[in-house]
Chains A and B, each alone.
Chain A
Amino acid sequence: MSGYALVAEGLHTYYGKSHILHGISLKVGEGKITTILGRNGAGKSTTLRSLVGLTPAREGKITVFGTETTKLPPYAIAEMGVGFVPEGRKIFANLTVEENLKVPVDRPGKWTIQTVYELFPRLQERRNNKGRQLSGGEQEMLSIARALLLNPKILILDEPSQGLAPLIVREVFRIITQMRAEGMSVLLVEQNVRMSLEVADWVYVLNDGEIAYSGTAADLQADEALLQSLAGVSAEKWEI
């Protein structure tokens, strides 16, 4: 196995006085898809926010390709090649699609506005529409496209399939596996357990701000009882 794109050790993160993450350690394999599962409020988003510098961990250490990023501001972490697709997409509703795509800084690489339009032709059709006029699926594509424009080496996504129609969810997962095929390292937080276990190489289950399970996706997939007890997966999540 090759090295790790991102390594976090013993993260403790707080919102004000509330202690949310209690010593999270995780690794994102280079060129792999790593998934974090867990119930609502388990601390998945907080973990990602700590990794990208939005809610810095008070204790612990984060390295990206061997360089420590623990205390760096978000833009510096992004500039090292960490792309983030935040929970709820967070597209700029007051800007057009094309203007949204001009916000990220240029990092050299294959992804340009032209090539992301080729990946998401729908965005090109909608290029002059404001962000607020887009459907949920289009917003998700825009949010992914925006992160790709950084030409990231690591792509971090927080619940990209949330609230999307099954067909669009499939499309999102197809893009994620395509990114892995292109050599990107992916860290994925998902509620859609079945789909994410299908694409993931390695899985962490988070519970109350602690890692409750760490193993291969195949192992966890094989043990449905364990999955039920760890992630509280509801039956509907297995539909689609």
Chain B
Amino acid sequence: MTQLILFNVMNGLIIGAFYALMAIGLSLIMSLSDVINFAHGGFLAVGAYLAYSLAPYIGFWGGLLVAPVLTAILGLIVEKFLISRVYGRDPLYSLLLTFGLAFIFEDGTRYIWGAQSLPYQVPGWLMSPLSSSFFFLTGYRMLMIVLIVAVVAGLFVIMTRTRLGLRIRAGTLDLETVSILGVNVRILRNLNFGIGIYLAGLAGVLAAGQLGLQPTIGDSLIMPSFIAIIIGGLGSLTGTLLGGLLIGVAQGITTVFFPSASEAVMYVMMALVLLVRPQGLLGEEGRF
């Protein structure tokens, strides 16, 4: 029983880390550009498929390194030529645009790589359990956790130690004032979008090794990611991280005791948070 719980908590942490990666990117874009990026899951799929196609040439590790970067570059292009055009308009424009993009990504990947799911090759030694009593603890899962922790830590360093990060944080509060200080806010929003999409691309590559590849691979992650933002508090990176992990673990534990509720549990959590602390767990105070 303990092992079963551990297994599911572990599962929950990993899925929660994916939610967090997605949610942090969504939250960065939402805070600085007022755009709810419904195409985020589509970018995740692009990252996964790019890694799949690159792996024969540059191997698993090369794909892991390069695919998220390529996805981020695609993000920079999409932001510059499409999304930036609806800034400052009614939010309906950006909703429709990113919704449309989500469909384009999904059908695009289906067209290029096919509708059937594809296996994603992870080096064999990563797939074997670390020990027989902890059969669920594979090297790949450890790798995912280490990578996600490292990337999130890196993001925190960017946000607190670099001028780019400071300007992004200042811009989430008051972009107009950032612009009168000589900062090109078009470029700032572009780079910020790229950072968010990098995280989605990385989530895609990592998810591919765990779940295999399908054009809809991002779909199951997007809703929990939005909820992670609400639970954690919009504008708080730490809160968003926490929100993602909490949802994942709660789902894992619910799977043990009340499997049919594992989907619903995050909505219950969201409702509770909205009732007790509408600004989210670390909202306002924690505003990064």
Chain A interface (Cβ within 8 Å of chain B)?
52-54, 73-75, 78-79, 84, 86, 90, 92-95, 99-100, 102-105, 107, 146-147, 149-150
Contacts and interface: CB of A to CB of B under 8 A. Distances in A.
Contact of A94 (B167, B178, B288): B288
B288 A146 contact: no
Interface residues on B, range: 20 to 34
Given A78-B180, A90-B177, A99-B169, 15 more contacts: A52-B180, A54-B180, A73-B179, A73-B184, A75-B179, A75-B182, A78-B182, A86-B177, A90-B176, A92-B169, A92-B173, A93-B173, A103-B166, A147-B181, A150-B181
B173 to A, nearest CB: 6
B129 to A, nearest CB: 44
A146 B181 contact: yes
A78 B184 CA distance: 10
| For the complex of A and B, 4 pairs with smallest distance between CB atoms | A105-B182, A78-B182, A104-B181, A74-B179
Quick one: which of B169, B179, B185 has the most chain A CB within 10 A? Answer: B179
B182 A79 contact: yes
A99 B178 CA distance: 12
21 contacts: A54-B176, A54-B180, A73-B184, A73-B186, A74-B176, A75-B179, A78-B180, A79-B182, A92-B170, A92-B173, A92-B174, A92-B177, A94-B172, A94-B287, A100-B170, A102-B163, A104-B181, A105-B181, A105-B182, A105-B183, A107-B182
B48 to A, nearest CB: 34
A86 B176 CA distance: 10
A102 B167 CA distance: 8
B182 A95 contact: no
Given A92-B174, A93-B173, A94-B169, A103 B288 contact: no
Contacts of A149: 181
Contacts of A104: 181-183
A84 B172 CA distance: 20
Contacts of A146: 181
B183 A75 contact: yes
A150 B178 CA distance: 12
A95 B180 contact: no
Interface in B132-170: 163, 166-167, 169-170
A86 B179 CA distance: 12
A196 to B, nearest CB: 22
Nearest to A146: B181
A94 B185 CA distance: 18
Interface in B176-200: 176-186
Nearest to B288: A94
B183 A90 contact: no
A53 B181 CA distance: 12
A103 B180 CA distance: 10
A103 B179 contact: no
A105 B172 CA distance: 18
Contacts of B183: 75, 103-105
Quick one: which of B169, B170, B177, B186 has the most chain A CB within 10 A? Answer: B177
B166 A102 contact: yes
B210 to A, nearest CB: 36
Nearest to B172: A94
Contact of A95 (B169, B179, B185): B169
A75 B188 CA distance: 12
A128 to B, nearest CB: 12
